[in-house]
Amino acid sequence: MSNRRSPVPTGRWPRPRPLSAQPNLLLLHLLTVALNGLSCCAHACGRPAGRGGLGTGGRLRTVPQDQPCPLLHRQPIAEVQAARPRRSTAIQEIQAKREHVTSGARLVRTWLAVTVGALLGVTPSASRDLSGSRPNILLLMADDFGIGDIGCYGNDTIRTPNIDRLARDGVMLTQHLAAASVCTPSRAAFLTGRYPLRSGMVSSNGYRVLQWTGVSGGLPTNETTFAKILKDRGYATGLIGKWHLGLNCESSNDHCHHPLNHGFDHFYGMPFSMMGDCIRWELSEKRAGMEWKLNVCFQIMAVAALTLTAGKLTHLTSGSWTPVIWSTIAAILLFTTSYFLGALIVHADCFLMRNHTITEQPMHFPRTTSLILKEVSSFIQRNKQTPFLLFVSFLHVHTPLITTEKFRGKSVHGLYGDNTEEMDWMLGKILDTLDTEGLTNSTLVYFTSDHGGSLESRLRNNQYGGSNGIYKGGKGMGGWEGGIRVPGIFRWPGVLPVGRVIHEPTSLMDVFPTVVQLGGGEVPQDRVIDGRDMLPLLLGTAQHSDHEFLLHYCENFLHAVRWHQRDGGRLWKVHYTTPVFHPHGAGACYGRGVCPCFGDQVAHHDPPLLFDLSRDPSEAHALTPDTEPAFYRVMDTISRAVEEHRRTLRPVPVQLDALGNIWKPWLQPCCGPFPLCWCDRENGQA
């Protein structure tokens, strides 16, 4: 595959002249230091606060006006920590304080920009064209990670110093949105820049993600990923971690949906997904439900076999013994399947692959974290002389929260907090590798999550899912913010501004056109691309996001739409359908894996629910025609946008419905003769 890479010029990153030899740049450097220092001060004096996270209008930790900023007037650490509030005050008071802080920062920025412009003869709008600049691209994605569990987004009880450092050194997005609230469709949208409905990576019958490794559904081969485009532009492309977008179509080794068939040169990780069933945990995704159904069927067949046998022995029934024999065989098969189901799932879904070869089946979890880090380091070292795209798709923090002994019991939030802090440590080790190899300044780093935290991952009094902060709902809820609002952090030293916070709507789909154009590729013109290039927004050369409308699907059902009304500064959101929480008054669908998208457990709203997220980020107060004069105008504008969107849709095969999402033995990857699927090539055993 390396023969497809174009040669890389030796001067891709030219050595700069010393600042002392460039008087203008020296002056610019000094002024930039001052600007960043004051900007960081303003950012720190208005940091997001509390475990609740950062809202649309911002939930900020502020310093009273009569106290100096800690970054300029350093206090002893103990005093700063003692003075730090644990929870934020009312949203109105917070917003007022934030406006005071940010307006001051804006004045400082404007003054320095004008000064720099006057001294160096440049205008504030001047910027360089970075398209085709071909940086290394490192994409980091957590699994089921709640936005309320990160320090830079407001959490002050779970330690995430490396994620926080990434935000401090780069750009943080506060309205970053997943295209779906569950794994498979969200990741498909991320890789293709398209709503999952367009690629068929949705369902209509409740099977919202791929259910097994051995299914025929998956990311269609005619879809174009950013990896495929950048590979054609000479990038080394790698995916390490979770895939969950399918594997085979017609045989156990055709690999039609494999990452290597979607533009990645190298793959190491789980073709499927981490699950509680991988360790036969009490919180089960499918094993417990299937065992219950099998046991019920076994009992029915066993009763039938005993009844028929008794009838024959007492001469109450006549005829042959054939029904007795077949019902007995069926009962035995059902009992055997139920008994061995847990082991079947562990071997069928919980294994590691390197490219097309299974290396560990089933996985040996105590060493998985070290194997992932070793693979990341190896990939970076192998490809440091050529531009690379590396997508690190963490197995953290999906249940069952596999955590090494080093981090178990270390956080104040139980196993979930331990797992989060271990993931943050892993991220820090990856950033250290960039530093060691001298690649930090030539690498664009991005961190996010595939969707919000899982509220239903609860067992008795223990919460094993994440917090979505002040946002309503969570994983699996098609429209509520908690399921789709995710962290978004970019860092590119020397290119992206430091400490910048953007309160504009952006999407995981936007990564596609952004990295494609940075890598010198072209965004496909033969299909609809829903993502928008974020680079002008990240650089500060654009004030607003290119997204006016964003649509929020649950399976193939449209649940909600948001409208960014730029001229009025309002962010409207309409809900057509919402899940019915259980029990009544709860904030989730407890007792289920996730909330449903259709049926009698959802509520259809006529008229739709309307919220102003710019004033009510928690979606706590629905607006009515009596309370909002613009109610009907907003509804009409959004309705027309939905109709325009629907005209762009084309029928495609649905990948996640029953036919493509049931286990097929002939598609099951196995490192031995099926069903003897056991190997450990990581230790040289097979």
Q: Which two tokens stand for residue 441?
A: 């300044």
211, 663 contact by CB (below 8 A): yes
Domain total of the chain: 2
Angle between helices 287-313 and 322-349 (to 10 degrees): 170
Give the chain's mean pLDDT.
84
Write out pLDDT tens, residues 113-153: 434 333 333 333 334 567 667 999 999 999 999 999 999 99
506-507 vs 171-177, strand pairing mode: parallel
Do residue 542 and residue 632 come from a single domain?
Answer: yes
pLDDT of residue 406: 96
User: Is residue 338 one of the residues assigned to a domain?
Assistant: yes
Q: How many Å apart are CA 403 and CA 415, to the nearest integer?
A: 8
Residue 14 falls within a domain, yes or no? no
Q: Is residue 333 domain-shared with residue 388, that is, in the same domain? A: no
Kindly give, in sequence order, each residue whose CB lies less than 8 Å from that of residue 461, ignoring residues fewer than 6 positions away.
none
pLDDT, tens digit, 9 for 90 and up, residues 635-677: 999 999 999 999 999 999 999 998 999 999 999 999 988 888 9
Of 285, 112, 292, 192, the closest CA to residue 509 belongs to 192
Contact by Cβ (8 Å): 62, 46: yes
Q: How far apart are CA 603 and CA 581, in angstroms?
A: 10
The residues, ordered by sequence, that sit 6+ positions from 159 with a Cβ below 8 Å of its Cβ are 151, 411, 421, 424
Q: Which residue has the tokens 């502020």?
A: 62
In a domain, residue 570? The reply is yes
Question: What are 492-503's pLDDT values in tens digits?
Answer: 999 999 999 999
Residues 517, 611, single domain; the answer is yes
Domain for residue 586, yes or no?
Answer: yes
How do residues 7-45 score in pLDDT, each as one tens digit?
333 333 333 333 333 333 333 333 343 434 434 333 333
pLDDT computed for residue 69 by the predictor = 34
Residue 597 located in a structural domain: yes
Q: How do residues 202-240 score in pLDDT, each as one tens digit?
A: 999 999 999 999 999 999 999 999 999 999 999 999 999
Percentage with pLDDT > 70 across the chain: 80
Residue 89 lies in a domain: no
Q: DSSP for 216-231, please give it.
A: S--S-TT---HHHHHH
Angle at 561 between CA 656 and CA 199, to 5 degrees: 30
Residue in the block written with tokens 């390197």: 354
Give the domain extent around 323: 285-342
11 within domain boundaries: no
Residue 356 shares a structural domain with residue 324: no
My answer on whether 162 and 236 are in the same domain is: yes
- Please check whether residues 198 and 290 belong to one and the same domain: no
- Final residue of a structural domain among 321, 342, 363: 342
Q: Which of 152, 183, 278, 350 is catalytic?
A: 183
Dihedral through CA 79, CA 83, CA 85, CA 91, nearest 10?
-140
**192 and 321 belong to one structural domain:** no
Please report, for the domain that includes residue 587, its CATH number: 3.40.720.10
Q: Are residues 162 and 204 in the same domain?
A: yes
- The answer on 184 and 294 residing in a single domain is no
| Residue spans of alpha helices (H) in 134-271 | 161-168, 183-192, 196-199, 226-232
In a domain, 78, yes or no: no
230-287 residue pLDDT tens: 999 999 999 999 999 999 999 999 999 999 999 999 999 999 999 999 999 888 889 9
Residues 401-405: what's their mean pLDDT?
96
Do 317 and 420 belong together in one domain? no
94, burial (CB in 10 Å: exposed 0-12, middle 13-18, buried 19+) = buried
Q: Are residues 313 and 185 in the same domain?
A: no
pLDDT digits (tens, 9 = 90+) for 436-476: 999 999 999 999 999 999 999 998 888 999 999 999 999 99
State the pLDDT at residue 132. 66
Confidence at residue 314, expressed as pLDDT on a 0 to 100 scale: 87
Question: Is 244 among the residues known to form the active site?
Answer: yes
Give yes or no for residue 98 having a pLDDT over 70: no
Mean pLDDT of 368-380: 98
Gap between the Cα atoms of 635 and 596, Å rounded: 25
Q: How far apart are CA 686 and CA 681, in angstroms?
A: 6
Same domain? 310 vs 396? no
Catalytic entry in 45, 152, 176, 244: 244
